[in-house]
Structure 1
């Protein structure tokens, strides 16, 4: 197999793995939103003590399907890692991205198993469950980010560096932290919507401000405010990075981020007004993942070694004398 064919094949695999992983993440959210996390009881990796459930309920089928699709995602991550290491020379950034993709896939599976084994599913209203969900969300973002970088660097782009990046590095870092914090608050808000469904918008507001409200409901109200503040930070940072590192990739990513984040805010409002139906929760999560992927691509382009810098003076023209 020629190097060009192998490289092209790896790019197809990396994109396919990323898309498939996003589908598995959405199905995992569907498991939580439908209260099907205990569909296999507190057994893992078997389901209700069986390798293949013989008389499954609907919730069992939903949870069991998630386990099967997650298993295939693990296989793809292993293939991605092995192929990435074999097809790229030592020092190539794809190698690190492929390895981290597998590492975060393993920790993703461990967190999912922990949710089941420690009964942090279905109707569990403990604060500990919120911490588990936060850790799960953070790991998912890191997993998706690593896979997005594998796709990016498989296209022949330069590796990134944080050294001597000045304002660009600070803006990128602040945006990444902001989106991670926002994602955690979103996971907690979604958990609150699942555990304490409201009969109307007014009823939801009463739940949030009640002095006896559950801690998850009190935390839920923070998410909309964070969404606006983080959105302003991300859009400002993206436009500034595109100005300081004026490459076609940064300009395209900055424009995409502005549009996508606007859609994400609109989806959040619709989700609130419609009282968080399952399908809208999935749309909201998908947009959040896509915004995260585009931010990762903006970061990789803006912090790339050799990226053009608008804040640098051009080199003097050679003398003809």
Structure 2
């Protein structure tokens, strides 16, 4: 096994970090349900209060959905704060896990501020402005950064080596393209989902006609970007997943998971399109997208982190060989 600089308490921290990942994933899915159900204005334009109250009396269903999202988001924030505290207590100053945990907290705070901006500027409910679409895209990007930071925190707390882009050779360019591609798929998916929610089609043919009609709302005409990026980036990521084992043996399982999730995501996306994107399939599509992104981050850690692990093992082997060459003559002289 590759050497690790993590102390004995790191495995417990890693388990807590993975729990925090799972909790945040649930919060993300519930946030998507808030948008899909049109409940974003359930607390009015008040934040952090809900309709001017700490606990709204006699809430409507939309208020319950939105208020629940705020409560669970608060719990997720507290978990990330606990992760920072745990990393500070368990690991020495300057350790990459401590730095990653602080990044998680910073991105988490930014996530809350973006959500607050959506509410305060009333970019919710039936708002079909490009400001809302762009903000949702930024929200999705921030969410991906948060998940990546949380996954890396968990991996590093478990003893995974740091990422070394410069030692990856030509593969780093493919990995970089795959990362950008998945981000673009996610951001365009957020915009497409908004268009599906605000302008639902009665039939698949009607939806396709809306996408191609130059007089349609811009959100509808932008929907075509999502499947385009999904196919192009998906093919690249699928190929990288199957090729990962040839780059690093340690990355084989992670690569197969990525490749499998790409195929699952294509199947879910096509099914959602054929069934006119019902809310359960929207949430399933987002869940698989997040799982694919997290699997991709693990793959990056396996490919790029293996560089340092391989280098360390090579150095150890060289040192052992040198030690043996120095001791053999002494033994023979006796």
Same fold (TM over 0.5): yes
Report the more deviating stretch, 73-82 or 158-167. 158-167
Partner of 2:164: 161
For residue 118 of structure 1, the aligned residue among 102, 117, 121 is 121
Note if 1:264 corresponds to 2:260: no
**Cα drift, residue 307 of structure 1:** 4.1
In 2, Cα distance between the equivalents of 1:213 and 1:159? 48
The secondary structure found in structure 1 opposite 2:33 is helix
The runs of 4+ residues in structure 1 deviating greater than 6 Å are 315-321
For residue 213 of structure 1, the aligned residue among 216, 236, 256 is 216
Partner of 2:308: 306
For residue 183 of structure 2, the aligned residue among 180, 187, 191 is 180
In 2, Cα distance between the equivalents of 1:300 and 1:98? 16
**Cα drift, residue 86 of structure 1:** 1.9
**Cα drift, residue 157 of structure 1:** 1.2
In 2, Cα distance between the equivalents of 1:67 and 1:136? 15
Partner of 2:17: 14
CA offsets per residue over residues 105-134 of structure 1, 9 Å max, x none?
A: 000000000000011100000011110000
Using the size of structure 1 for normalisation, the TM-score is 0.93
In 2, Cα distance between the equivalents of 1:171 and 1:307? 21
In 1, Cα distance between the equivalents of 2:194 and 2:181? 20
More helix by share: 2
Note if 1:70 corresponds to 2:73: yes
Kept after mapping to 2: 8 A contact 1:246/1:308: no
Q: Which runs of 5+ in 1 are unaligned?
A: none
Note if 1:101 corresponds to 2:104: yes
In 2, Cα distance between the equivalents of 1:139 and 1:20? 16
**Cα drift, residue 164 of structure 1:** 3.1
In 2, Cα distance between the equivalents of 1:114 and 1:256? 36
**Cα drift, residue 42 of structure 1:** 0.4
CA offsets per residue over residues 192-250 of structure 1, 9 Å max, x none?
A: 00000011111111111112111111110121121111011112223333312222xx1
The secondary structure found in structure 2 opposite 1:158 is coil
Note if 1:56 corresponds to 2:83: no
Kept after mapping to 1: 8 A contact 2:10/2:159: no
Kept after mapping to 1: 8 A contact 2:214/2:221: no
Partner of 1:131: 134
In 1, Cα distance between the equivalents of 2:39 and 2:270? 26
Kept after mapping to 2: 8 A contact 1:168/1:303: no
Partner of 1:253: 254
Kept after mapping to 1: 8 A contact 2:201/2:207: yes
For residue 46 of structure 2, the aligned residue among 43, 47, 56 is 43
The secondary structure found in structure 2 opposite 1:306 is helix
Kept after mapping to 1: 8 A contact 2:165/2:172: yes
Kept after mapping to 2: 8 A contact 1:15/1:151: yes
**Cα drift, residue 9 of structure 1:** 2.5
Residues paired across the two proteins, number: 312
Report the more deviating stretch, 109-118 or 171-180. 171-180
Note if 1:193 corresponds to 2:182: no
